[in-house]
Amino acid sequence: MTTEEKIFNAARIVFQKKGFAGARMQEIADEAGINKAMLHYCFKNKQLLFEAVFMNAFGELAPQINDIFNSEECVFDKIKKFTKSYISFVIQNPFLPAFVIQEMNNNPEFVMQFFNNEKRPNPELFLTQIKTEIQAGILKPINPKQLLLDIFSMTVFPFAAQIMVKGIIHISDSEFNQMMEERKTSIAEQIINSIKK
Amino acid sequence: MTTEEKIFNAARIVFQKKGFAGARMQEIADEAGINKAMLHYCFKNKQLLFEAVFMNAFGELAPQINDIFNSEECVFDKIKKFTKSYISFVIQNPFLPAFVIQEMNNNPEFVMQFFNNEKRPNPELFLTQIKTEIQAGILKPINPKQLLLDIFSMTVFPFAAQIMVKGIIHISDSEFNQMMEERKTSIAEQIINSIKK
DNA sequence: ATACGGTTTAACCATTTGGTTAGTAAATGT
DNA sequence: ACATTTACTAACCAAATGGTTAAACCGTAT
């Protein structure tokens, strides 16, 4: 593993746990097991290191989502695939959703510029497809944006609020993961059931 | 408005926007229109000021939720009431969910101690009630904790991820609020529909 | 062997930040 | 009227923090 990779991984861990403002360059250096000056040697400054981590995290997920939403499949299949692959991905990166929400909230200007990127999640095609399937009589006449919000909510929220969820319903890490495994299929079933005519 | 109130309100605004780590005492003082030393005169230090804000925010919401979940009503009515009153509350405090998730994530030790408080959201009774209604044949045989998670997800997520949501599906503040108004009833309808036998 | 390039570090610096202090102004009690 | 507490501020301080520098280290080509 190159030094740059060591730093990057350390930065991902620390930023995801503490956020941009809470993260300390020294802590990242310690986590990477190298001298703090190397951070600046490799990534210039905190902001750029952060951007590298954020872009990577988000940029890995967005194309996956877009591939699914922009494929040729029907709405039902897209919902099934999305929930399954999103949950699989996030189980491997459990702090990602809370991290993205946090930085979105603290630093909207920076994050927003990122939404003009081609790597951003772009559900336009999916939304028009929903309209089409409603007109075709496949789906009940629901608001496409509400449907999309439902899908995201059911999928993302448990991870974003992971710590709170564990605290409120009193479950361990393994019970949590087991519940998320269940959700890989149960979310799609429930949503499809509620919108199919 | 007393000076203490001015500080408290200013602190709420700044903490909710920037989080604990990102908030600056000077910024809070400026927002309140008073000298920075007053913050320490009234609230001792940053941590205590933050705790006051956090406890207040969470402590206002938790009893409302508990009142609903611990009432004598049936599961369906509880779901209806919860979504409606939660959304009403959060429309007035739009940054609260993201704020809570953020601090939960950054500072789990502190927040967890708060979950032994009697003011915490306590869904135990609601969970057993769900089991009872399943055995009574009113509800389909679902996992009560998954149901609770569904309810929270659909209700809380759109607010927690507000800024991202607005960016991804391209809606204005007023469109967002209108969608949330719709959700006051639509979430309950959908969930009830998916669990009633 | 040695000069040279990139890599890595210890020590240092400037600024920011939470917090303190000492003193002033304004109520409040006597 | 005067003393005393309370509310408030400007100036200051120590620690933390992001960032820099100059020197050391190390592989490698000459």
Q: Which two tokens stand for residue A129?
A: 């497809």
SS3 state at B119: coil
List of chain A residues whose C-beta atoms are within 8 Å of the C-beta of residue B152: 157, 161, 165
Q: Which of A118-122, A143-147, B151-155 has the lowest mean pLDDT?
A: A118-122
Rounded to the nearest integer, the mean pLDDT of chain A is 94
Contact between chains at B104 and A163 (C-beta distance less than 8 A): yes
Closest nucleotide relative to residue A27's CA, C1' based: D17
Rounded to the nearest integer, the mean pLDDT of chain B is 94
Taking the C-alpha atoms of residue B93 and residue B123, their distance in angstroms, rounded to an integer, is: 22
Q: Is any Cβ of chain B less than 8 angstroms from the Cβ of A121? A: yes
Q: Is any Cβ of chain A less than 8 angstroms from the Cβ of B103? A: no
pLDDT computed for residue A172 by the predictor = 96
Q: Is any Cβ of chain A less than 8 angstroms from the Cβ of B128? A: no
Domains A1-44 and A54-195 share a fold: no
Q: Is any Cβ of chain A less than 8 angstroms from the Cβ of B197? A: no
List of chain A residues whose C-beta atoms are within 8 Å of the C-beta of residue B143: 179, 182
Q: Which bases of chain C come closer than 7 Å to a protein CB?
A: 7-11, 17-22
**Residue with the two structure tokens 């001792």:** B44
Q: Choosing among B128, B157, B170, which should be mutated to test the A contact, i.e. which has the most A CBs within 10 A?
A: B157
Contact between chains at A153 and B148 (C-beta distance less than 8 A): no
| Of A156, A188, A197, A194, residue with least CA distance to A77 | A188
> Other CB atoms closer than 10 Å to residue A15's CB: what's the count?
24
Q: Which of B22, B121, B194 is nearest residue A106 as measured by Cβ atoms?
A: B22
Contact between chains at B152 and A163 (C-beta distance less than 8 A): no
Distances (CA, A) of B106 to A15, A150, A163, B19, B114: 10, 27, 10, 9, 14
Footprint of strand D on the protein (CB under 7 A): A 23-26, 36-37, 40, 44-47; B 3, 34-38, 41
Q: What is the DSSP secondary-structure string of chain A?
A: --HHHHHHHHHHHHHHHHHHHH--HHHHHHHHTS-HHHHHHHHSSHHHHHHHHHHHHHHHHHHHHHHHHTSSS-HHHHHHHHHHHHHHHHHHSTTHHHHHHHHHHH-HHHHHHGGGSTTS---HHHHHHHHHHHHTTSB-S--HHHHHHHHHHHHHHHHHTHHHHHHHHT--HHHHHHHHHHHHHHHHHHHHHHHB-
More confident residue, B94 or A139: A139
Q: What is the DSSP secondary-structure string of B13-44?
A: HHHHHHHHHH--HHHHHHHHTS-HHHHHHHHS
Q: Which two tokens stand for residue A161?
A: 């609020």
pTM: 0.92
Contacts of A102 (CB under 8 A, 6+ apart): A19, B19, B98, B101, B102, B105, B106
- List strand C contacts in B 18-47 (CB < 7 A): 23-26, 36-37, 40, 44-47
| Residue A140 banded pLDDT, cuts 50, 70, 90 | very high
Q: Choosing among B164, B183, B196, which should be mutated to test the A contact, i.e. which has the most A CBs within 10 A?
A: B164
Dihedral of alpha carbons B120, B126, B128, B130, sign: negative
- Is the domain covering A1-44 a CATH 3.40.190.10 domain? no
| Residue B116 banded pLDDT, cuts 50, 70, 90 | confident
Taking the C-alpha atoms of residue B168 and residue B184, their distance in angstroms, rounded to an integer, is: 22
B54-195 is classed in which CATH architecture?
Orthogonal Bundle (1.10)
- B187 CA to D16 C1' distance (Å): 48
| Residue B132 banded pLDDT, cuts 50, 70, 90 | very high
Q: Is any Cβ of chain A less than 8 angstroms from the Cβ of B106? A: yes
pLDDT at residue A114 tops 80: no
Q: What is the mean pLDDT of residues A29-51?
A: 97
Annotated domain spans of chain B = 1-44, 54-195
pLDDT tens string A148-160:
999 999 999 999 9
Q: Is any Cβ of chain A less than 8 angstroms from the Cβ of B38? A: no
